[in-house]
Amino acid sequence: MRSLLIVVAALLAVGCSKPAEPPSMAATPPTAAGDAVVSAAPAVVAVEATPAAPAISGEQAFAMCAACHSRDAGAHQGMGPNLHNLIGRKAGSNPGFDYSPALKASDITWDAKQLDAYLSAPTKRVPGTRMAIAVPDPARRQALIEYLSAP
Ligand code: HEC
């Protein structure tokens, strides 16, 4: 019994010491594998972080709209209607702006879903609308919707 244990222990010792004998050769691949695991971890974190922190901020996304629109209360209406308090408002209902008959008759009440559809293809969603700027990128639309939903 005891001698068997010693043999097993001796075999284990030999077995353990064997892979460690060529240190330079054996050390390299595990280190490389370890690096791969470490570098894979931040990639997963980045993916998880995406919904919380969109790559583009609402302000950045709105820059292409600001030539015609303002989101500020009471701001001057220029080429496009003022978009303050847009959510919950009927399309084409901002007093003092000369909307297309198409948008006024669209019967849309602005919410996230309606905005998403309109911004992805305005002239498709509301044929005859005078706004021709489409936002094909869903992430940019999401950023815009959040920006326009803020008080
Ligand atoms: C070249 C000028 C122009 C640009 C740029 C522009 N729009 Fe418009 N937008 C308009 C006009 C004009 C209307 C009114 C359309 C109509 O009457 O059919 C409008 C209407 C809208 C409406 C409906 C408002 C309401 O009161 O019902 C929304 C929402 C809107 N735009 C969002 C955007 C967003 C978001 C962007 C940027 C991605 C943008 N627009 C870029 C000119 C523009």
Q: Which of 86, 81, 96, 71 is nearest to 131 (CA)?
A: 81
Q: What is the pLDDT of residues 106-124, one digit of tens each?
A: 999 999 999 999 999 999 9
Does residue 66 line the site of ligand 1, with CB under 6 A?
no
CA 103 to ligand 1 center in whole angstroms: 10
Question: Residue 103 phi/psi, 5° resolution?
Answer: -70, -40
pLDDT (mean) for 14-43: 44
Q: What is the pLDDT of residues 41-100, one digit of tens each?
A: 444 444 444 455 558 999 999 999 999 999 999 888 889 999 999 999 999 999 989 999
CA 12 to ligand 1 center in whole angstroms: 76
Number of C-beta neighbours around residue 105 at 10 A: 13
Q: Higher confidence at residue 87 or residue 21?
A: 87
pLDDT (mean) for 128-138: 96
The rounded Cα 112 to chain-centroid distance in angstroms is 15
Does residue 144 line the site of ligand 1, with CB under 6 A?
yes
